[in-house]
Amino acid sequence: MSSPKLPQNFGRAFDLSSLKKPAAGTEPTQPGVAIEATPENLVSDFVSYSNKVPVVLLAWSARVPESLQVLEILNKLAANDGGTWRLGSVNLDKYPEMANALQVQALPFGIALIQEQGVPLFDAAHPEPQLRAVLNKVLELATEKGLKISGATPASAPTEP
């Protein structure tokens, strides 16, 4: 069986560390549950937090039903992964200005943040197996960059003896 194909733009990255840092927000206590990303908490709860664990932001809109399906899948995967990565939910209906900050071209739009660096993941809906493959690559990249990923082993990820 072949591995799911990763999105074509997976290798592109851009630097978000130059964003102005607002006052620190409150730290969510439940890993694996999508956290609402806002203009006020984007840097403190997501960009800065990406120095601890990888962060995946999903930009979505109620006007694009496929984006809600991807959010549901990612929320499930985040819950199953027990805090090895953080999921941020970017509601572009509520915060349209965040589309420019994240360089959103189409919905659903996924971006990983690893050590304050943005890596575009996808700009279309994908099934769970492909999203799992993308997340496994994000975790692998984060480990290569020196992040210590603690918590549960991601589902379907190969374990080394």
Q: Is residue 96 part of a domain?
A: yes
Number of domains comprising the chain: 1
> Is it the case that residue 141 has pLDDT exceeding 70?
yes
Among the listed residues 4, 8, 20, 17, the one whose alpha carbon sits nearest the alpha carbon of residue 118: 17
In a domain, 82, yes or no: yes
**Measured distance CA(113)–CA(146) in Å, rounded:** 14
Which pLDDT does position 150 carry in this prediction?
75
Instruction: Give domain status of residue 147, yes or no.
Output: no
| Percentage, residues of the chain above pLDDT 90 | 70
pTM: 0.77
pLDDT-based confidence at residue 25 (cuts at 50, 70, 90): very low
**8: three-class secondary structure by DSSP:** helix
* 151 occurs within a structural domain: no
CB 95 within 8 A of CB 38: yes
Q: Is residue 161 part of a domain?
A: no
Q: What is the pLDDT of residues 31-87, one digit of tens each?
A: 448 999 999 999 999 999 999 999 999 999 999 999 999 999 999 999 999 999 999
Domain that holds residue 79: 43-142
91 has which bridge partners? Answer: 60
What's the confidence (pLDDT) of residue 7?
A: 56
The 3-state DSSP class for residue 12 equals coil
Q: What are phi and psi of 68, to 5 degrees?
A: -70, -35
What is the CATH number for 79? 3.40.30.10
Rounded to an integer, the average pLDDT of 110-131 is: 97
Least confident range from 20-24, 117-121, 125-129: namely: 20-24
